[in-house]
Amino acid sequence: AQSVTQPDIHITVSEGASLELRCNYSYGATPYLFWYVQSPGQGLQLLLKYFSGDTLVQGIKGFEAEFKRSQSSFNLRKPSVHWSDAAEYFCAVDNVNQFYFGTGTSLTVIP
Amino acid sequence: DTGVSQNPRHKITKRGQNVTFRCDPISEHNRLYWYRQTLGQGPEFLTYFQNEAQLEKSRLLSDRFSAERPKGSFSTLEIQRTEQGDSAMYLCASSPTGGRNYGYTFGSGTRLTVV
């Protein structure tokens, strides 16, 4: 069955520090993978996506993610976090006509 | 391109009442999706349309829920006889055909509170 696991419910980082958010997926075929960000009370904004090609993908706001098939992972990274990055982050796998989302990781940024 | 628009942003209703939400997708997108997000969870798929045809429905979409997209443009989601368990954020998204190649564009959602 298709599923996405985000092991970290909440992460706190200092502004300027690096960030890595973990995502593991379960999918029978070649996965289409996405990272979305959600600010409080808002909808979801697409950060980046992967479905083929280079396994290191670049997204908006300085985010990148690396697809590792052997580990069934698609971790999100950012080299230097800004206070405005505080939000909820969701990893998702596309199952042709619907997404399966993880439960999200809440990011707090401290000055 | 004004993005995906959802109305109302917030809705408080008494248990047992009917509610209707509206979603206006990006005009050139022929696919429209509804998701439900409860507190502390990721969004869960409810249903999707290709133009005016409703092609897939989740088991989460009980008989009290109905969605329409009459002219292949805007969509409505109606919940009849609301229950407290229906309290959630209802998210609409749209995409071109082959949405998995592009990702979906989500609206800001309608937050429903059933009291």
How does residue A27 score in pLDDT terms, banded at 50, 70 and 90?
Answer: confident
- The one-letter code for the residue type at A47 is L
What number is the average pLDDT over the span A3-14? 96
Is the distance from CB of B2 to CB of B103 less than 8 angstroms?
Answer: no
Pairing of strands A73-78, A64-68: antiparallel
Q: Do B108 and A94 touch (CB under 8 A)?
A: no
Which tokens sit at A51?
Answer: 């479905």
Q: Is the peptide bond before B8 cis (omega within 30 degrees of 0)?
A: yes
Of B33, B100, B108, the CB nearest to A43: B108
The pLDDT tens digits along chain B (115 residues) read 579 999 999 999 999 999 999 999 999 999 999 999 998 899 999 999 999 999 999 988 889 999 999 988 999 999 999 999 999 999 999 999 877 788 899 999 999 999 9
Q: Is A45 on the interface with B (CB under 8 A)?
A: yes
Considering only residues B97 and A108, tell me which one the structure prediction assigns the higher pLDDT. Answer: A108
User: Would you list the DSSP string of chain B?
Assistant: ----EEE-SEEEE-TT--EEEEEE--TT--EEEEEEE-TTS--EEEEEEETTEEEEE-TTS-TTEEEE-TTSS-EEEEESS--GGG-EEEEEEEE-SSGGGT-PEE---EEEEE-
Considering only residues A51 and B8, tell me which one the structure prediction assigns the higher pLDDT. Answer: B8
Is the distance from CB of B13 to CB of B76 less than 8 angstroms?
Answer: no
Tally of helices (H runs) and strands (E runs) in chain A: 0, 12
Q: Residue A87: pLDDT above 60?
A: yes
Q: Please give the pLDDT value at position B1.
A: 53
Distances (CA, A) of A102 to A23, A61, A79, B23, B43: 8, 21, 23, 24, 8
Mean pLDDT of chain A: 94
- The one-letter code for the residue type at B44 is E
Q: Please give the pLDDT value at position A75.
A: 98
How does residue A109 score in pLDDT terms, banded at 50, 70 and 90?
Answer: very high
Q: Which residues pair with B53 in a beta bridge?
A: B50
Q: Is A13 on the interface with B (CB under 8 A)?
A: no
Q: Is B44 on the interface with A (CB under 8 A)?
A: yes
- The one-letter code for the residue type at B88 is A
